[in-house]
Structure 1
Amino acid sequence: MTWSPPQIMPGQGSTLTVVAQNCTDTPQQASFFSYQQFLGSGPGVPPGCPIVEPLPARPVTIEAGGTFTATSRYNTYAGCTATRLLVTAQFTLGSTLLDAGSANLEITAAPPPPGCAVTYRNVSRWAGGFVAEVTIAAIAGAPINGWTLAFDFAGDQRVTGGWNAAIAQTGTTVTARNETWNAVISPAGTATFGIQGTWHDSDAPPTAFTLNGAPCEVR
């Protein structure tokens, strides 16, 4: 039993594939039955999740040495708080259990929306050198009290100076920390700092930024 994909977020779906093999030299008849349940950190059905009715049993015949394959699509509600969906499949003949298996679909909480947006632009550029301006915006409706912005240059740039932030570079990774006078970015406000540097083969701009360890929207 395999899930594709094996992990989803609330509101997404996944497909379960069940494969059974007849290891005998005669055809095997059975009833195929599956049931499923959303599970969370506590007992009972997690808030926001439905009670899923079992799929009806159906007769199947697996030829000698052959296989039986069944696929089912499972979707989750956006408000479902479960951490996994457990599906159990059974093959029975009358009251005799021939085979059974189960598979967990991991459900991870949707990440919170970013609280910051970053704009990086080259103000000036020449052979071997550049000046860039970086603007951080607070977009979550709350102030940012103290900030450290981190990013990786996509080229071979080296920082030689800057303003409005304490800037350091290790390899391709750059960190910029607030000065004492611009540590707070008010809701819907911005903070801007500058970078001066050199490059040899490429001055391709960074494509991702984190602020205090959390990803930012790139503008």
Structure 2
Amino acid sequence: MSRKLATAAGALLALATTMFTGPPAAQAAEPGTGFHVRDGRLLDANGNDFVMRGVNHAHAWYAARTGQALADTKALGANSARIVLSTGDRWTKNDSADVAKVVGQCRANRLVCVLEAHDTTGYGEQSGAVPLSRAVDYWIEVRSALEGQEKYVILNLGNEPHGNVGHSAWTADTTNAITRMRAAGFTHTLMADAPNWGQDWSFTMRDNAPAVFAADPQRNTVFSVHMYGVFDTAAEVRDYLDRFVARRLPVVVGEFGDDHSDGNPDEDAIMAASRGLNLGYLGWSWSGNGGGVEYLDLATGFDASRLTAWGRRLFEGPDGIKQTSREASVYATGDSGDTRPPTAPGAPTASDVTSTGARLSWAASTDDTGVTAYDVIRVDGTRETRVTSTATTGALVTGLAPATAHTFAVYARDAAGNRSPRSATVTVTTTGGPTAGACAVAYRLQEWTGGFNADVTIRNTGTRDITGWQLDFAFPGGQTLNSAWNAKVVQQGSQVRATPEPWTGTIPAGGTVSFGISGKSGGGNGVPAAFTLNGASCARS
């Protein structure tokens, strides 16, 4: 997926009606050191079947977000992450040290790391794009960060390596890239993206995959198709994937979305077919999309508590990640090479305590290979719930009950996934909420065919400032939330909950705060019938 996408082919080619069922490709001996392919299946280093269930993350543009993004997607059930890297030809290079850090972050979160070189996107059509040969140069340059990581890392040679111009060169270019990687000593599983901006509407990859697979001396290549507007019917999705399965060739859906500028992909069919055929998929993308495709964000503003409709579909819907994901067995066996856990972090302190949240801070842990993450756990009696995971020594916890004591434990983890044997704990008592009748809400609706905006103003009619707030209401007409501003807003069914941003956290006595929401209509709009602020009913104004 490129930030600036080329226009897809104007008309879809009709799928051939005859399934090619030639002899199965020969299988080489299993490499034994990491991921490998056998009989058309991707197996991990323990010889167990591995089916990718994950997301794409644009590390090349949002490196500071990667640690938290991986922790959040893991908490939502992902078992893998496809990471955007740059060779330095079109964007700032991700060097060996940075690649090693990313691999460590994947391992710390027990995720399989699919690394891809993005500068090849749309070669032959996109200005500035580089050929696959340049991507191979890059992998050789950062090899020190990849050696010994074959159990945890898959190398995606180059993202969407040909546009719609010159795509016939895909077979030779991909074969040459694989040959060079093996000659350079790489034993990792390699992933080859399709041409035509990844969508292979010309069937170049589909028809030439057997020859490319046979050209890999290790028979350890997986093919990746990106499914957007070209794949807008269940028949097209299933036919394309069936042809690889019938020939015992490994294939994954390396990118897909629920909407696109070139058409409306059938995400339900993509996920159902992947489950039915036991094939992997990786949704595009966690957050930060621009250039008119912001609708492909799975989370709004990199905030896991604000999943978009697309994010909820991918993680929580039928055939979704939570329902079908299984962790790679190499993590279950703890085979990481590093068994020494980090020390416990320093005792946390709480600040900025409100009726629904608080900011926690703690002193850093130490570890022989470096601490990569801290897990914040809420302790309710004997029940423990992970609230967040962060690479920094602080976290904002929200969604707490007012006037209640909450206990939090903080553990440290290193790059091998070892967790500190002891935690540091702190108990936070949230402040009380407003009394009944101390608030009023104005909901100003602007609507058009298929969508709406609403400006929401909360007035504090009481005599005390409200520090920290939670506004609850229900959409009356089946609307779907798309985005929000000046507040964090989440939706579950028809229920909507808004909590403040740092700059809207206090409603002064007699004063107001305002926020906005935008969404899709579900057949009708309307003003919610009731509002509650921190559990107290509010008047409508």
- Taking structure 1 as the reference length, the TM-score comes to 0.48
Specify which structure has the higher proportion of helix.
Answer: 2
Which structure shows the higher strand fraction? 1
More relative contact order, 1 or 2 (CA 8 Å, 6+ apart): 1
Larger Rg: 1
